[in-house]
Chain A
Amino acid sequence: MEEKVKDIALDEQEEYTINMGPQHPSTHGVLRLVVSLKGEIVKNVQPHLGYIHRGIEKMCESITYPQIIHLTDRMDYLSAHINNEAVCLAVEKALDTEIPDRIKIIRTIMSELTRIQSHQLWWASFGMDLGGLTCFFYGLRDRERILDIFEETCGSRMIVSYNCPGGLMYDIHPNFQKRVKDFIKYFRKILPEYDQLLSGNVIFIERSRGIGKLSLEDAISYGVTGPSGRASGFSCDIRKHEPYSAYDKVRFNEVLFTEGDTYHRYLARIEEMRESMNIIEQLIDNIPEGPYAVKMKPIIRLPEGEYFQRVETARGELGVYIISDGNKNPYRIKFRSPNFVNLGALNLISKDFKIADLVAIGGSLDLVIPDIDR
């Protein structure tokens, strides 16, 4: 027994690796991070993916365009409506279909409601990750109101599948406008409570300010978009730069910060909820009369060629790239999903912070794992 067994975990000079996930509560899904640690300082983070890889891109190659829409719900299930819209817009652009204003405006309102409910759930779980369980109940309570509006109009709560090529599946419910207005009135009163609970909380600020800094150059080089990119000053809002649906008709500000730390990624999302409410308020009373869908051919065949559509989901830029050979199903379809790209920056920004900060940084990127794996 002369040889002494070296206890690596107690020796602070050695790096050691631990697995965080795939069932870790703070990864919100099946994400496995292999973390190299020196003491409790993070030296390297390697994500291991594929636990929920379903091969959506491969599946899409054998189904028709109206069917693809239902698969896109299952990518980023919190921005389901916006994912649907991306495919619909790409198909409509390829076929040069003129979309009436009524459809455009309803789509925009639904997209913004989706964005608010996604940010509410993010706020709820982010607060919980950092130890504030009250946030979880506040966030989910208010999100329920939007889900009720979805249920009434779309027939389902989360995986809405409300868009179809050429318009919408059904017309809006007669109560829709009233309920949305009620919600805006309610949420305008509630949102300052979110700020009181978390934004000004000393414990929260200490844990998030200056943590996980992402510079503007890195944000562009790593392609970090959405509120996470805009917190670093990367002006990447597709709603502003390449307006689709009714975004060219409304006035809103692109939320930009320059600090790029966890706290400002948090603030960017809170401000975005305010901007989303502004957009909805401008549109909700101006829904023109008309049909809710344009008549399309029963079998949709896209002309041979390549089509690219960019939209802004709650987490960043979603790109749909369709290569068509003239058939009723795409030859190749690629989804440039925002979470997949944002995850690429995790290793860079969490280096040399503590393992507890990794939870805060990962939460502030707002990752949805099915969107990463697809």
Chain B
Amino acid sequence: MDKIQLGEFVKSLEPEVEVKEGRQYTEVTVPASKFYALAKRLRESEESWFDYLFCLTGVDYGQDLGVVYHLASTKHKHAIVLKTRPSDREHPQIDSVSDIWRTADFHEREAFDLLGIRFTNHPDLRRLFLDSSWGYPLRKNYVDEINIVTK
């Protein structure tokens, strides 16, 4: 499917999405409560068959945090971007997709470690690089007076 068809297809699965045609990929913004169901359908539906999660990024947008999922299909050779933004900035929660794509296990632990996004139903959500005495360094309001020099 090309970019426009993909957008229409996602809209038919979940009407509450916001579809934007990006430069490279179709970008779909989903409410956090609807996210898991849509991801599962996109993985299992024969027309979309997104079986390869090639990137998972946690982003601090300022007012809230978000997670960006880059999905590709090894069968149909198309790709899509899913975005979701949980509303609570201090304690953001999203359903884990590590049971749909196993690679999300590590990616989500990284996003939890560096941005403090909690993935519910994750099998083993521990910090990955840093120990628990650290804050969440990739948040924009993270302060480290010793190591970060601001001009």
Chain A positions within 8 Å of B, measured between CB atoms, are: 49-50, 53, 55, 57-58, 62, 218, 220-223, 234-236, 241, 305-308, 310, 317, 319, 321, 323, 332, 334, 336, 340-341, 343-344, 348, 373
Q: Is the CB of B55 within 8 A of A49?
A: no
6 closest A-B pairs by CB: A223-B103, A50-B129, A53-B129, A336-B55, A334-B57, A344-B106
A53 with B130: CB separation less than 8 A: yes
What are 23 residue pairs bridging A and B, where the CB atoms are less than 8 Å apart in the complex? A49-B128, A49-B129, A50-B129, A55-B137, A57-B114, A57-B138, A62-B148, A218-B102, A220-B51, A220-B52, A221-B51, A221-B103, A222-B102, A223-B101, A235-B74, A307-B24, A308-B55, A321-B55, A321-B70, A334-B57, A336-B70, A341-B106, A344-B105
Q: What sequence of 0s and 1s flags, for each residue 69-94 of chain B, a beta carbon within 8 Å of any chain A beta carbon?
A: 01000100100000000000000000
Question: B138 touching A58 by the CB < 8 A rule?
Answer: yes
Pair A344/B128 contact, Cβ less than 8 Å: no
A321→B102 contact, CB < 8 A: no
Hey, which chain B residues are within 8 Å of A218, CB to CB? 102
A332 to B25, CA, bound (A): 18
Report yes or no: B130 in contact with A344, Cβ–Cβ below 8 A: no
> What residues of chain A lie closer than 8 Å to B60, measured between beta carbons?
332
Residues on A with C-beta less than 8 A from B24 are: 307-308
**Interface: B38 (CB within 8 A):** no
The answer to whether A305 touches B68, judged by C-beta atoms less than 8 angstroms apart, is: no
> Contacts A223-B53, A373-B129; is A308 near B103 (CB within 8 Å)?
no
Which residues from 31 to 86 on chain B have a C-beta closer than 8 Å to any C-beta of chain A? 51-55, 57, 59-60, 68, 70, 74, 77
In chain B, what residue has the closest Cβ to A55? B137
Assembly CA distance A373 to B106 (angstroms): 12
A220-B51, A334-B55 in contact; A50/B128 too (CB < 8 A)?
yes
Complex CA–CA separation, A222 to B77 (angstroms): 18
Residue contact A310 to B68, C-beta cutoff 8 Å: no
Chain B residues lying within 8 Å of A308, measured Cβ to Cβ, are 24-25, 55, 70
Residue from the list B103, B110, B148 in contact with A222, Cβ < 8 A: B103
Given A58-B138, A341-B106, A373-B129, do A220 and B74 touch, yes or no (CB 8 Å)?
A: yes
Q: Quick one: which of A50, A223, A373 contacts B54, CB cutoff 8 A?
A: A223
Chain B residue, CB-CB nearest to A320: B55
Known: A323-B59, A341-B107, A344-B106. 9 other contacts (CB 8 A): A53-B130, A58-B138, A220-B52, A223-B54, A236-B74, A305-B23, A306-B22, A319-B54, A343-B106
Q: Chain A: which residue is nearest B22 at the CB level? A: A306
**Minimum CB–CB distance for B90 against chain A, Å:** 19
- B149's nearest neighbour on chain A, judged by CB, is A62
A351 to chain B, nearest CB (A): 14
* Complex contacts, A306 vs chain B, CB 8 Å: 22-23, 27
Closest Cβ neighbor of B124 among chain A residues:
A46
Residues of A contacting B57 with CB < 8 Å?
A: 321, 332, 334
Q: Is the CB of A58 within 8 A of B137?
A: yes
For B55, what are the chain A residues with a Cβ–Cβ distance below 8 Å? Answer: 308, 319, 321, 334, 336
Alpha-carbon gap, A53 to B128, bound state (A):
10
Set of chain B residues within 8 Å of A53, measured between Cβ atoms: 129-130
Return the contact of A317 from the options B54, B68, B128, B137 (Cβ within 8 A). B54
Closest to A217 in B: B51
B23 touches A307 (CB 8 A): yes
Q: Is the CB of A310 within 8 A of B54?
A: yes
Using CB atoms, name the residue of chain B closest to A59. B148
B122 to chain A, nearest CB (A): 13
CB–CB A344/B129 < 8 A: no
Q: What's the Cα separation between A159 and B134 when bound, in Å?
A: 31
Please report the C-alpha to C-alpha distance between residue A223 and residue B55 in the assembled complex, in whole angstroms. 9
Output the least CB separation between A54 and chain B (Å).
10
CB distance from B42 to the nearest CB of A (A): 14
CB distance from B131 to the nearest CB of A (A): 8
Q: Are the CB atoms of B54 and A344 closer together than 8 Å?
A: no
Q: Which residues of B contact A332 (CB under 8 A)?
A: 57, 59-60, 138
Chain B residues closer than 8 Å to A343, beta-carbon distance = 106
Q: Which residues from chain A contact B77 at a C-beta distance below 8 Å?
A: 241
Query: CB-CB < 8 A to B114: which residues of A?
Result: 57
Residues of B near A236 (CB, < 8 A) are 74
Residues of B within 8 A of A305 (CB): 22-23
Most chain A C-beta atoms within 10 Å of own C-beta, residue among B55, B77, B105, B138? B55
Q: Which chain A residue shows the least CB distance to B74?
A: A220
Distance in angstroms between the alpha carbons of A58 and B136 in the assembled complex = 11
In angstroms, Cα B59 to Cα A317, docked, is 21
Q: Which residue of chain A has the shortest Cβ distance to B75 in the bound complex?
A: A220
